[in-house]
Amino acid sequence: PRRGTWFALTQGTMGIDIKAGGRKATAKSGRTAPVSENLYLRLLVKLYRFLARRTDAKFNKVVLKRLFSSRVNRPPLSIKNIAKFMEREGNEGKTAVVISTVTDDVRFLEVPKLTICALRFTHTARARILQAGGECLTLDQLALRSPEGEDTVLLRGCKSHRESAKHFGAPGTPHSHVKPFVRSKGRKFEKARGRRASRGYRN
């Protein structure tokens, strides 16, 4: 062996240093606290940590876990979708709880009276909910009203509705509907071989 390797072997510097007891292959993954340093979010986490610990309600544990989530894992929900869920049988008169942003939908013409609790409301969404006679609650107000999540419907948005999700996968392969990254959509852009039957073949 080379001199450097022999020196390393004789000095006993090989191997990695692991903590006593070894590494735990079944260690829990996932967040145990939010990465965000937002003071108000941190206060909500403090509140729901207490409620999750001191009550048996699973609702508080789920809310706490969702408060830890990154923004990608907290997709927004529109008032149109919230209204659709709240129309379902058994949901009348309950409070919709969304651990993300509630957004407006201009295609939704008549907003019903809704009681919604969320982390954030966009300006227009809040205005339309209040104009319809509804309520916009914060999570600390909800904790006072229903500390165990009674008469609430916990909702969340769809993660795959992001623009970036349309590009996941391999575009141009047979039966693939993946959106390619193209500079512009037109006759001259990625419309030749493989895209038109008259140019070799079409996928």
pLDDT per residue over 33-70, tens digit each? 999 999 999 999 999 999 999 999 999 999 999 999 99
Closest CA relative to residue 103, chosen from 54, 58, 136:
136
The better pLDDT of the pair 186, 27 is held by: 186
| Residue 193 per-residue DSSP state | T
For 22-36, 70-84, 155-169, which range has the lowest pLDDT when averaged over its residues?
22-36
pLDDT per residue over 22-33, tens digit each? 777 788 889 999
Angle at 163 between CA 69 and CA 108, to 5 degrees: 90
Identify which of 24-28, 119-123, 187-191 has the greatest average pLDDT: 119-123
Other Cβ atoms closer than 10 A to 12:
7
| CB neighbour class for 190 (10 Å; exposed up to 12, middle 13-18, buried from 19) | middle
- DSSP secondary structure string for all residues of 47-108: HHHHHHHH---HHHHHHHHHHH--STTS--EEHHHHHHHHTSTT-TTPEEEEEEEEE--TT-
Q: Is the pLDDT of residue 102 over 90?
A: yes
What whole-number distance in Å separates Cα of residue 110 and Cα of residue 47?
35
What is the pTM for the complete model shown? 0.82
- Residue 164: in which H helix or E strand, if any? none
